[in-house]
Amino acid sequence: MPLAKESPVAQVRVDSPLPHLDRVFDYGVPESLDEAAQPGVRVRVRFAGRLLNGLVVGRTQESSVESSLRPIERVLSPEPVLTDEVSALLTAVADRYAGSFWDVLRAAVPPRHARAEAAVTMTDVASLVHAREGDEEAWARYQRGRVLYGRALAGGIAGVRGVWSAAPAHPWTADIAAIARAVLSRPTGGVLVIVPDAWDVAQVTSALDDCTGTMAVLTADLGPERRYREFLKVLRGTVRLVVGTRAAVFAPVRDLALTIVWNDGDEALWEPHAPYWNARDVAALRSHLTGCGLLVGSPARSVETEQWCANGWAQSISPNRQTIRVDAPVVRALEIQDEARDEAAASARIPHTAWLVAKEGLRSGPVLIQVGRRGYLPALACLGCREAARCSCTGPLSLAVGRQVAMCGWCGKLNGSWSCGVCGSRQFRAVAVGIERTAEEFGRAFNGERIVWSSGDQVKRAVGETPALVIATAGAEPVAAGGYTAVVILDARTSMMRQSLRAMEESAHRWFSAALLARPRAQIIVTADTGAPAVQALIRWDASWLAARELAERASARMPPASRVAVLRGIPEDIEEVGRALVVPHRLLGPVGGRAIVTVRREDGPALSRELRAISAVRSAKSGPGKPVTVIMDPRDIDT
């Protein structure tokens, strides 16, 4: 079969789950496929006697191997779905997270859909978007905000990196819309907006309703055809603005000027499949590789982005004093005076002050009650000895609304004849109270008031201005028209006491998220001690102070992000073998229960990733009894 005269060698990445095959293979380009087999297209190749999918990542004149080359069997589609810029990003992500190129590629490029490919045609990019009146005032609420907006408007946003903590009583979507419009008002430059879920996408697209002619939406729930159609619009350069969820961080936006990541601490921005990357750090890698601007925002602030500010890689953008003085909520936590007036206040889940604030708030509008857990009584213990109540399978017991019999959360068994294995008691006590029980308690206390609750699969997205008690779990709070008149944060003590490295950070994130939904100077009750750092940060509306404090504590303990961490999962013997193969200076904690933690100095992080990737490849190539060891670099939570 005659090969192409120019660049007859195709460099192909073959779709294989085996780590030792995660490299480029050379194939011949038949003369008949010369025009179609361009870098970035999907192909079929014969590999080890089987036909596999592959992707051309380059064309060269000569092969790196001396043996004769197998030809490409066929081109699946002439569409070059992978640009050079995105290819470099995928390689960098695979290197950083000790994963494979193709695993990252699966998230970056949606599956082909032939009908969508035929339907999308090249059109001219829509006309310029004009800045709106009030856009500059949105960013005037922040320190350095006017400078940031001015650079975006003047076309100088490239290379700018900011960490933005949202201003109170002001929609974060308005901030994103203002800065995006400023960039799009220039004749060149694209904008990429990454948010945690489809509801956030809907809010952002609503705020950018004047940009629909040059906007694409990339979310997993669009369906195969529409998702691929939107991807092709971006790839072919017919849109300049992309709004999407986690995987959209790889979108092939032409002439990308600014990437915006909102709510970077949300777990939805972490990829649950290998190699377990997260959108915030991928966006940072993209900014580093391409020089595009980066803006990472959150209701509070993550420790990782605070470290960016501490080492000068990014600038902190926080609400200015005037904004805090005028709009920040009035936060009240539990103090000695409360305990003097109400002896049960120190231990009560719903103190008397919270009832009073809720009652007062209902006179003029909706009141938000944030609850820590779903269900009715989601955790039970023995009434006699206080030991956790467990099923015969050792699963935790819980009680659903309207039931008298506890049910196991693991096997689903009803435990009508349960007895404590320690003291023999047959009675329960509640360890945690869920949203359903909370709604029941408030319904009895505020008889006749409208009760709205939002949790899990029954999420209420918005409520009106009329008075109502809105009871919601963290992350499921509806947006109230005009804002909430008051907010009561329950289970605040419990959330800070969780056995997690991120307990304080996540508590602050939940509280700031709820407080953002309140009206200016609204009353907020936090059921925790006023001296707790997260409570103090909320009172002063100073998320960066708390993040800096957490960062200093983790640095002193050599914990991430001051160090780089890899979690290894597998059989203990295999984990120990991987640990012995590591050359980079490290600490190996474990293995315990099929899990171990490897920590290194931050500057040794790239070396750790490279070694773990190489070790995985060597182990994969061997035919011995060893089983794969899963590697998770820089996990969101090292406690699980």
Read out DSSP for 196-248? SSHHHHHHHHHHTGGGGGGEEEE-GGG-HHHHHHHHHHHHTTS-SEEEESGGG
The pLDDT confidence band at residue 404, using thresholds 50, 70 and 90, is: confident
Residue 222 has pLDDT above 50, yes or no: yes
Please state which CATH class domain 563-633 belongs to: alpha beta
Give the domain ranges of the chain.
Answer: 1-80, 135-323, 329-375+434-540, 563-633
Residue 520 has pLDDT above 60, yes or no: yes
pTM over cut 0.85? yes
CATH topology of 135-323 equal to that of 329-375+434-540?
yes
- Read off the amino acid at residue 128: L
CA distance 81 to 84: 10
- Regarding the domain with residue range 135-323, which homologous superfamily does it belong to in the CATH classification? P-loop containing nucleotide triphosphate hydrolases (3.40.50.300)
Mean predicted confidence (pLDDT) in 553-582: 94
pLDDT of residue 339: 47
CA distance 122 to 236: 7
pLDDT of residue 347: 47
Residue 66 has pLDDT above 80, yes or no: no
Residues in the chain: 640
Which of 213, 97, 93, 181 lies closest to 565, judged by CA?
A: 97
Mean predicted confidence (pLDDT) in 495-508: 90
Give the β-pairing of 595-601 and 587-589. Answer: antiparallel
Looking at domain 329-375+434-540, its CATH architecture is 3-Layer(aba) Sandwich (3.40)
Tell me the pLDDT of the chain averaged across its residues.
92
DSSP 498-523: SSSTTHHHHHHHHHHHHHTTEEEEEE
pLDDT of residue 374: 82
- Read off the amino acid at residue 59: R
pLDDT of residue 365: 97
The pLDDT confidence band at residue 335, using thresholds 50, 70 and 90, is: low
The residues pairing with 486 across neighbouring beta strands, listed in sequence order, are 367, 523
* Cα within 13 Å of Cα(431), Cβ side: 17
Mean predicted confidence (pLDDT) in 165-183: 97
The pLDDT confidence band at residue 328, using thresholds 50, 70 and 90, is: very high
333-342, 449-458, 574-583: range with lowest mean pLDDT: 333-342
pLDDT of residue 346: 45
- Read off the amino acid at residue 341: R
Give the β-pairing of 428-432 and 451-454. Answer: unpaired
pLDDT of residue 562: 92
The answer to whether the CB of 169 falls within 8 A of the CB of 518 is yes
The pLDDT confidence band at residue 384, using thresholds 50, 70 and 90, is: confident
CA distance 116 to 331: 52
Neighbour-count burial of 553, counting CB atoms closer than 10 A to its CB (0-12 exposed, 13-18 middle, 19+ buried): middle
Give the β-pairing of 563-569 and 9-14. Answer: unpaired
Residue 123 has pLDDT above 70, yes or no: no
Phi-psi region of 255 (alpha: psi -120 to 50; beta: other; left: phi over 0): left
Structure tokens at 495: 């959330």
